[in-house]
C-alpha cells in the first residue's frame, strides 16, 4: 500500500523522498505552515477558546479564496469570457461548502461554554472582518459606513474603499447580459447597495423561459448556487449565535441575533429568485 506523503520513512533509499534540506523544507517555503500554526494566541484559560480562534481564522482564509474567485469571475465577464467566469463560480461553490462546514465545531456551543471565553473577544465581532466585507461588496451589499471600522488600518481601508466604488460580481453579470442584448439599465452609483429592478427580473424571466441548455441559464444556475450557499452561511451563523448567546447584545455592540436575522432575510442576486415565479 502506498504511503501518505505525511507519513515518516524509516530509512533513506531511492524510493523514499529527500529528507535533508539546506534550509527550511520546500513545503514550509510554499505553505508557510510555521507562520499559520503560530498565529493562535488565546486570551483566556479556557481550552475551548482555541477551536473558536482557529475556526475563525480558517473562515478568514476561505473569505480570501472566495474574494479571489469572484474577482476572477468578474474580470472574465468583463472580457466576455463566460467559460472562465463559470469555472471560477464552480470552484467557489465547493469553497462555500467548505466555508459553511467551518461552523460545525461551533454549532453546538452552550451559553456557558461560550461565556467561558467570550470576554476575551472584547468588542471584537465578525462584522469587523475586512475580507468578509469585501466578499459582501462583491455580492452587491455595499455600504460606505462599513469602511469606518477600518480607518485605523490604511491597507484594509483603501482596499475596501476601492471595492466600494467598483462593480460587484452581479454588476458585471448584468453588464454582460446587456451586451448580449437584454434591456438592463446601467446603475448610476455603484457604491450603493444593489436594489432589485423590474427590467432585470424580466431579463432573467426571458432567459429561463428559453432553452434550458443555454449558456445564460447555466450562468443563472451557477449564480443561484452561490446565492443559496451564502444564504445557508448566514443562517448557520444565525443558528450558531442563537444557541450560544440567545438574544443578548453582540460582542461588537450589534443587536446580535436580531442583526443576523435581518442579514439572513436578504436575498443575494434577488431577481434570479423572483423571476422564477413568472416562468
DSSP annotation string for 182-213: ---PPPS-TTSPP---HHHHHHHHHHHHS-TT
pLDDT for the residue 211: 95
Torsion of CA 119, 121, 125, 129, to 10 degrees: 180
pLDDT for the residue 12: 55
pTM of the model: 0.89
Q: Residue 253's pLDDT band (boundaries 50, 70, 90)?
A: low
pLDDT for the residue 97: 98
pLDDT of 255 above 70: no
Q: Residue 262's pLDDT band (boundaries 50, 70, 90)?
A: confident
User: Which amino acids are annotated as binding site for heme, given as ranges?
Assistant: 237
User: Which amino acids are annotated as binding site for substrate, given as ranges?
Assistant: 118, 251
pLDDT for the residue 223: 98
Which residue is listed with cell 467557489?
92
Q: Residue 6's pLDDT band (boundaries 50, 70, 90)?
A: low
**Mean of per-residue pLDDT scores for the chain:** 91
User: Which amino acids are annotated as binding site, given as ranges?
Assistant: 118, 237, 251
Kindly state the DSSP code that residue 4 receives in the 8-state scheme.
Answer: P
Q: Summarize pLDDT for 82-95 with one digit per residue, the tens.
A: 999 999 999 999 99
pLDDT of 212 above 80: yes
Q: Residue 254's pLDDT band (boundaries 50, 70, 90)?
A: low
Q: Summarize pLDDT for 34-46 with one digit per residue, the tens.
A: 999 999 999 999 9
Contact partners, residue 116, CB within 8 Å, separation at least 6: 44, 46, 48, 49
**Helices 215-245 & 82-101 angle (0-180, nearest 10):** 20
Instruction: Find the largest Cα–Cα distance for the chain.
Output: 70
Distance CA(34)–CA(228), nearest Å, equals 36
Go through the chain and tell me how many residues it has: 279
Q: SS3 of 276, please?
A: helix
| Range ranked top by mean pLDDT from 70-84, 114-128, 230-244, 263-277 | 70-84
Q: Residue 258's pLDDT band (boundaries 50, 70, 90)?
A: confident
pLDDT for the residue 259: 73
Q: Residue 252's pLDDT band (boundaries 50, 70, 90)?
A: low
Distance CA(130)–CA(144), nearest Å, equals 13
Contact partners, residue 159, CB within 8 Å, separation at least 6: 130, 134
Q: Do 141 and 167 meet the contact criterion of CB atoms below 8 Å apart?
A: no
- Alpha-carbon torsion (173, 178, 182, 187), positive or negative: positive
Domain edges within the chain: 46-118+125-244+253-278
Distance CA(197)–CA(2), nearest Å, equals 57
pLDDT of 19 above 80: yes
CATH, domain range 46-118+125-244+253-278: 1.20.58.480
Q: Summarize pLDDT for 139-165 with one digit per residue, the tens.
A: 999 999 999 999 999 999 999 999 999
- The rounded percent of the chain whose pLDDT value lies above 70 is 92
- Alpha-carbon torsion (232, 233, 236, 242), positive or negative: negative
Amino acid at each position: 500500500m502506498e504511503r501518505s506523503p505525511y507519513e515518516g520513512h524509516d530509512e533513506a533509499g531511492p524510493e523514499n523522498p529527500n529528507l535533508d534540506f539546506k534550509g527550511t523544507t520546500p513545503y514550509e517555503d510554499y505553505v508557510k505552515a510555521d507562520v499559520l500554526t503560530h498565529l493562535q494566541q488565546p486570551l483566556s484559560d479556557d481550552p475551548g477558546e482555541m477551536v473558536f480562534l482557529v475556526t475563525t481564522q480558517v473562515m478568514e482564509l476561505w473569505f480570501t479564496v472566495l474574494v479571489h474567485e469572484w474577482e476572477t469571475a468578474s474580470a472574465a465577464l468583463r472580457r466576455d469570457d463566460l467559460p472562465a467566469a463559470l469555472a471560477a463560480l464552480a470552484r467557489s461553490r465547493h469553497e462555500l461548502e467548505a466555508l459553511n462546514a467551518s461552523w460545525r465545531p461551533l454549532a453546538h456551543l452552550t451559553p456557558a461554554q461560550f461565556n467561558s471565553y467570550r470576554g476575551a473577544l472584547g468588542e471584537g465581532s465578525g462584522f469587523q472582518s475586512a475580507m468578509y466585507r469585501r466578499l459582501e461588496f462583491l455580492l452587491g451589499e455595499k455600504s460606505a459606513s462599513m469602511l469606518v471600522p477600518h480607518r485605523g488600518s490604511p491597507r484594509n481601508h483603501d482596499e475596501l474603499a476601492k471595492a466600494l466604488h467598483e462593480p460587484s460580481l452581479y454588476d458585471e453579470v448584468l453588464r454582460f447580459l446587456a451586451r448580449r442584448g437584454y434591456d438592463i439599465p446601467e446603475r448610476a452609483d455603484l457604491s450603493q447597495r444593489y436594489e432589485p429592478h423590474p427590467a432585470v427580473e424580466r431579463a432573467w424571466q426571458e432567459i429561463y423561459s428559453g432553452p434550458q441548455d443555454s449558456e445564460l441559464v447555466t450562468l443563472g444556475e451557477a449564480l443561484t448556487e452561490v446565492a443559496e450557499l451564502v444564504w445557508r452561511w448566514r443562517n448557520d451563523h444565525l443558528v450558531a449565535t442563537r444557541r450560544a448567546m440567545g438574544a443578548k447584545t453582540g460582542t461588537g455592540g450589534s443587536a446580535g441575533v436580531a442583526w443576523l436575522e435581518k442579514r439572513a432575510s436578504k436575498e443575494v442576486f434577488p431577481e434570479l429568485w423572483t423571476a422564477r415565479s413568472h416562468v
